[in-house]
Amino acid sequence: MLDLVFLAFIFYVLLLGLKRPFLWVLLYVYIDILAPQRIGYSLIATLPVSLIAFAAAFGGWLLLDRKEGARFTMRQGLMLALLAYCWWTTGNADFPVEAATKWDWVWKALLFAIFLPFTLTTRARIEALALILVLAIATIVIGTGMKTVLGGGGYENLKYFVNDNSGVYESSTLATVAIGLIPLIWWFTRHGTVFRPHWLVTGFAVALTFACLMVPIGTEARTGLLCIAALGVLLLRYTKQRLLFIAAAGALGLIALPFLPQSYYDRMATLAAPGGDESASTRVAVWEWTLGYVAEKPFGGGFDAYRSNRFAYVLPVKQVNGNTTTVEYREVVDEGRAFHSSIFELLGEQGWPGLMIWLALHGLGLWQMERIYRRWKGAAAEQEAWIAPFAAALQMGALVYLVGALFQGIGYQPVMLMLAGLQIGLASYCVRIDSARAGHERSVQRRAAIDSKLSGAVAA
């Protein structure tokens, strides 16, 4: 029955797209994030729904959609360069079979992110994409928050729609994405046009924000706690009552403490003492290994190059015997450990060139959003007042992602690449507005000059 519901919805949107091809772009975003083919039980799992939506989105834009205002930008060029470089390193990878498996989804994520800005030519389309991003993640987040509140959480114990700890369903990735989208959620409460500002919209935003904050607790993802702290610091810039905001955040944290499970305290305590945690210790060892690896192979070893690592580290092991606690330091030998950081993931897999492209891609995005925020801050007209807050929300989302990416291998995460595409679309939209305004002003000045000459001639 669940398969039929998903298929009916997908088929309905495909039909609607015959009149509005942009709907196929949104359909692919929905399928790529939620992965209904992995949620279903039988029929939908046998159909290439993602490929169908992917082909419809590209084909619909090429054949049916209007292309007014579409332009190729520098950041799209950077993603294209990264795509080409990843293709080259995959062909020369240390582990060809494993690299080909990762390449199979990375090229789609990068290609779609390159294509996405071409379709974002109006405010309605930009908002629609942002809304689908929020609602698709909300579908996962709401269920996660409910399970957490009802006591079904715990590290590696929280069950999602799919029994697969990968993609956006990986616990730390979901925590990062959920926290990063909170500013975008609240943008809709003031500037949304699909769902106009209303107390029901605000109420849903409150509940969804609460669910987003529950994700790091339910998954006990340490990265999620760091993302919450990062978002709190970023919000201070846009808060007029800063002292009140800090006091309210502190009070909310204190109120929540008695309701948190002991397992959450134990896991968060490893942030202060990473040397006593095996996961944290291996991360540091892998990072050190990666630096040595690129010293020998500066162009990287292709996807999954971490599989060749092998290292030893000392880990303190506590033994409790009654009231006596002893600590014994043991040497642990490990191998084939993942990078656990997007910085070192890009460095180890794509070398210094790939890392530089990746850093330039996201650094330029932060700079663009800052420029747009300052340029349109204070705009009073309804058709322009939404731009600066939207740029601020995208900038905060990107910064939260980068904080989370420091401790996870999510350098090619499709949701965050879509967020980059949304940033590019907004920047291109603002350029078109400024160009149109400048053209109108030149036309007015030209007309005024002509009128002045005519008046002078008549007077003479």
Same domain, residue pair 288 and 408:
no
Rounded Cα distance, 157 and 214, in Å: 15
Tell me what pLDDT residue 454 has. 66
Rounded Cα distance, 268 and 220, in Å: 8
Tell me whether residue 124 is in a domain.
yes
Main-chain dihedrals φ then ψ at residue 59, nearest 5 degrees? -65, -40
Tell me what pLDDT residue 150 has. 73
Residues in the chain: 460
Kind plus residue range of the DSSP H or E element containing 335: strand 324-335
Could you give the number of structural domains in the chain? 2
Kind plus residue range of the DSSP H or E element containing 291: helix 278-296
Two tokens at 425? 């679309």
Tell me what pLDDT residue 90 has. 95
Tell me whether residue 447 is in a domain.
no
Tell me what pLDDT residue 67 has. 80
Tell me what pLDDT residue 327 has. 63
In this predicted structure, the answer to whether residue 154 has a pLDDT above a threshold of 60 is: no
Across residues 224-235, what is the average pLDDT? 89
Across residues 315-324, what is the average pLDDT? 65
Same domain, residue pair 134 and 223:
yes
Tell me whether residue 460 is in a domain.
no
Taking only the tens place, the pLDDT of each residue in 104-138 is 999 999 999 999 999 999 999 999 999 999 999 99
Longest CA pairwise span in the chain (Å) = 110
CB 341 within 8 A of CB 399: no
Considering only 65-74, 133-142, 263-272, which range has the smallest mean pLDDT? 263-272
Domain boundary among 310, 335, 360: 335
Q: What angle separates helix 199-219 from helix 123-149, to the nearest 10 degrees?
A: 50
Q: Considering only CA atoms, which of 308, 342, 310, 355 is closest in space to residue 96?
A: 308
Tell me what pLDDT residue 46 has. 81
Same domain, residue pair 68 and 118:
yes
């799919």: which residue's tokens? Answer: 162
Rounded Cα distance, 87 and 302, in Å: 9
Rounded Cα distance, 349 and 143, in Å: 35
Same domain, residue pair 89 and 7:
yes
Main-chain dihedrals φ then ψ at residue 356, nearest 5 degrees? -65, -40
User: What own/partner pairs with CB < 8 Å and gap ≥ 24 does 145-152 have?
Assistant: 145/210, 145/211, 145/212, 145/214, 145/215, 145/218, 146/211, 147/218, 148/214, 148/215, 148/217, 148/218, 149/214, 152/218
CB 346 within 8 A of CB 352: no
Domain boundary among 312, 335, 358: 335
Tell me what pLDDT residue 299 has. 94
Tell me whether residue 454 is in a domain.
no
Helices (H), 120-241: 123-149, 171-180, 182-191, 199-219, 222-235
Across residues 251-265, what is the average pLDDT? 62
Considering only 71-80, 136-145, 328-337, 416-425, which range has the smallest mean pLDDT? 328-337
Considering only 81-90, 199-208, 303-312, which range has the smallest mean pLDDT? 303-312
- The SS3 assignment for 371 reads helix
Considering only 189-203, 217-231, 414-428, 445-459, which range has the smallest mean pLDDT? 445-459
CB 199 within 8 A of CB 190: no
| Residue 85 binned pLDDT confidence (cut-offs 50, 70, 90) | very high
Measured CA to CA in angstroms, residue 227 lies from 119, 183, 216, 321, 363 at distances of 31, 13, 9, 37, 18
Same domain, residue pair 315 and 344:
no
Tell me whether residue 296 is in a domain.
yes
Same domain, residue pair 281 and 150:
no
Tell me whether residue 453 is in a domain.
no
Tell me what pLDDT residue 40 has. 74
Same domain, residue pair 315 and 380:
no
Two tokens at 279? 């996961």
Same domain, residue pair 80 and 130:
yes
In this predicted structure, the answer to whether residue 164 has a pLDDT above a threshold of 70 is: no
Taking only the tens place, the pLDDT of each residue in 178-197 is 999 999 999 999 999 999 99
Range of the domain at 58: 2-270+340-442
- Amino acid letter, residue 109: A
Give how far the C-alpha of residue 219 lies from the chain's centroid of Cα atoms, to the nearest Å: 18
Same domain, residue pair 413 and 309:
no
Helices (H), 48-122: 49-63, 74-91, 96-119
Tell me what pLDDT residue 220 has. 72
| Residue 433 binned pLDDT confidence (cut-offs 50, 70, 90) | confident
Dihedral angle sign, alpha carbons of residues 258, 259, 260, 261: positive
Q: Residue 326 pairs with which residues in a beta bridge?
A: 319
| Residue 297 binned pLDDT confidence (cut-offs 50, 70, 90) | very high
- In DSSP notation, 239-287 reads -S-HHHHHHHHHHHHHHHGGGS-HHHHHHHGGGT-GGG-HHHHHHHHHH
Same domain, residue pair 39 and 154:
yes
- The SS3 assignment for 321 reads strand
Percent of the chain with pLDDT over 90: 50
Q: Considering only CA atoms, which of 194, 172, 168 is closest in space to residue 26?
A: 194
Rounded Cα distance, 402 and 261, in Å: 28
Same domain, residue pair 176 and 309:
no
Same domain, residue pair 260 and 283:
no
Domain boundary among 335, 363, 378: 335
Higher per-residue confidence, 323 vs 357: 357
Tell me whether residue 457 is in a domain.
no
Average pLDDT of the chain to the nearest whole number: 84
Rounded Cα distance, 61 and 118, in Å: 9
Considering only 14-23, 129-138, 154-163, 211-220, which range has the smallest mean pLDDT? 154-163
Considering only 229-243, 251-265, 377-391, which range has the smallest mean pLDDT? 251-265
Considering only 110-119, 246-255, 284-293, 297-306, which range has the smallest mean pLDDT? 246-255
Tell me whether residue 452 is in a domain.
no
